[in-house]
A and B are shown apart, each in its own frame.
Chain A
Amino acid sequence: NAGVTQTPKFQVLKTGQSMTLQCAQDMNHNSMYWYRQDPGMGLRLIYYSASEGTTDKGEVPNGYNVSRLNKREFSLRLESAAPSQTSVYFCASSEASLRGETQYFGPGTRLLVL
Chain B
Amino acid sequence: DAKTTQPNSMESNEEEPVHLPCNHSTISGTDYIHWYRQLPSQGPEYVIHGLTSNVNNRMASLAIAEDRKSSTLILHRATLRDAAVYYCILRDPPYNQGGKLIFGQGTELSVKP
Do residues B87 and A42 form an inter-chain contact, with CB atoms below 8 A? yes
Do residues A42 and B106 form an inter-chain contact, with CB atoms below 8 A? yes
Residue-wise interface mask of B (54-90) relative to A, using a CB-CB cutoff of 8 A (1 in contact, 0 not): 0000000000000000000000000000000001000
Do residues A103 and B106 form an inter-chain contact, with CB atoms below 8 A? no
Say which one of B10-18, B19-27, B44-52 lies at the interface with A: B44-52
Interface residue ranges, A against B (CB under 8 Å): 4, 30-31, 33, 35, 41-45, 48, 50-51, 56, 58, 90, 92, 94, 96-97, 100-108
Q: In the assembly, what is the distance between CA of A93 and CA of B98, in Å?
A: 10
Query: Which secondary structure dominates chain B's binding surface?
Result: loop
Q: What interface size band does chain B fall in?
A: 20 to 34
User: Which chain A positions have C-beta within 8 A of B101?
Assistant: 43, 45, 103
List the B residue with the shortest CB-CB distance to A30. B96
Among B43, B96, B104, point to the contact of A106 (Cβ < 8 A).
B43
Among B43, B97, B104, point to the contact of A105 (Cβ < 8 A).
B43
Do residues A103 and B87 form an inter-chain contact, with CB atoms below 8 A? no
Do residues A92 and B43 form an inter-chain contact, with CB atoms below 8 A? yes
